[in-house]
Structure formats: C-alpha cells, structure tokens
A and B are shown apart, each in its own frame.
Chain A
Amino acid sequence: NAGVTQTPKFQVLKTGQSMTLQCAQDMNHEYMSWYRQDPGMGLRLIHYSVGAGITDQGEVPNGYNVSRSTTEDFPLRLLSAAPSQTSVYFCASRTTLFSGYTFGSGTRLTVV
C-alpha cells in the first residue's frame, strides 16, 4: 500500500536547468494534482488532471509543464529553473470530488 510516491525527496538545481519531479500512485485515483508550499502562503495549485490524457492549469502554472499518459503517473517538469521556484512540491491524488486527497511526502527543491 504505497499510496502516493514522490521522487526525489531533495534536489538542488542551478538557474536555467530543467528537471522532472516524479509522482506515482497505486490507488487507481482519477484526480491528481501538483501543489507548491511556500512559507505564509499555504499550498497553491500548479496543475491538475482529472484522468489520463486530461490536464489543466491551476493557480500558478507558469514555468511548469505536466502530462498524464497513464492513470498512475503525473510528472511535473520545470522547463528552466528560477530561484522563485525554490519551494516544497507536493503531489496528491483522490478518487471523487468529495473524498479527501492523499498527499505524497514532498520534494524540497532549491534553485541557486
């Protein structure tokens, strides 16, 4: 019963580098989302998906891309890292609109 698995747990990037944050869930959840957590700002939605092949933008999508080729996986790509993207990133999934989200343990990203 792995739930939502995020990799890596920690990452340091140089400005301008690209990388992919991985997210996988084994609960057959249709809904998946990426959030970033910054001090004093709670969690903000980056991108979300309501099923394989369907994605949409959240509150703060600029600088990030996503795709959803399978139900299980929802990777987040940083195209050209900037210091403003230093944050903790959480992936989450859920079954229905009224069910709670299951969160991964997070990726702490630092861009220098």
Chain B
Amino acid sequence: GNSVTQMEGPVTLSEEAFLTINCTYTATGYPSLFWYVQYPGEGLQLLLKATKADDKGSNKGFEATYRKETTSFHLEKGSVQVSDSAVYFCALSEGETSGSRLTFGEGTQLTVNP
C-alpha cells in the first residue's frame, strides 16, 4: 500500500535559518504530492502541491520538487520566520480508484526561535 515517511522531529531553528524537512513516499502508481501546515489549535492548510514528476510546488517562500527517481518531496525554505512555527505534514493522493484518500506522514513539528 501507499505510505509516506517524514523526518523525525521536532526541529528547532533560529530565525533566518535554512529549513529542510525530508519526505519520501511509497506508491504503486503516480501520486499527487502535498505539503500541509497545521498551526496550533487549527485545521490543516494546504501549503503547496505537485501533481507530476519534476513539478515544483511553491508558496510563501516554501518549495518542494517532485522527484520520482528518489520518490521524494522534500520541503525547503531559505529563511524561516517565527511565524513558520507549526506542524508540517507530507501527503500523497493516488488515482481515482482510491477515491479521495490522502495518505499522510506523521508530521514534523517546527519551532523557530527569534
């Protein structure tokens, strides 16, 4: 079956540091890949997505590239801010046969200190 593996957290960075959160996946077909962010006490918000190999998703300074050869979708940001402190989830969605199913990683807690 499908699975998503994220780097273990929590991750603590200083403001303006470079961020990488690793995400790798296992899927039988050609999934769409997503990063979601969850701020304390809130639901998940879509951060970015990529629907085919070599696509780059980007939003709010965050980027991730769909790498089929390494089955990865790592999240990066060049300079983090305190307001980026949240939990980040990598997820995949594959094919009409799976209906609307999203498979999530366990989440990575990011804390950015001033």
Residues of A whose CB lies within 8 Å of any CB of B are 4, 31-33, 35, 40-45, 48-50, 56, 58, 90, 92, 94, 97-98, 100-106
Query: Whose C-beta in chain A lies nearest to the C-beta of B6?
Result: A42
Closest chain A CB from B92 CB (angstroms): 12
* Complex CA–CA separation, A100 to B89 (angstroms): 13
Contact string against A for B residues 42-56, beta-carbon threshold 8 Å, 1 for contact and 0 otherwise:
111110010100000
B96 in contact (CB, < 8 A): yes
Known pairs A42-B107, A43-B89; A105 contacts B46 (CB<8 A): no
A45 and B44 within 8 A (CB): no
Closest chain B CB from A96 CB (angstroms): 10
Known pairs A98-B51, A103-B45; A32 contacts B100 (CB<8 A): yes
B43 and A103 within 8 A (CB): yes
B101 and A103 within 8 A (CB): no
Chain B residue numbers with a CB within 8 Å of A43 are 44, 89, 102, 104
Chain B residue numbers with a CB within 8 Å of A31 are 99-100
Apart from A33-B101, A97-B32, A104-B43, what are 11 other A-B pairs with CB-CB below 8 Å? A31-B100, A33-B100, A41-B106, A44-B104, A50-B100, A92-B44, A100-B46, A100-B49, A103-B36, A103-B45, A106-B42
A105 and B42 within 8 A (CB): yes
Chain B residue numbers with a CB within 8 Å of A92 are 44, 102
Task: Give the number of residue pairs across the A-B interface with Cβ within 8 Å.
Answer: 64
B101 and A45 within 8 A (CB): yes
Contact string against A for B residues 88-104, beta-carbon threshold 8 Å, 1 for contact and 0 otherwise:
01000101100111101
B66 in contact (CB, < 8 A): no
Chain B residue numbers with a CB within 8 Å of A35 are 102, 104
Closest chain A CB from B96 CB (angstroms): 6
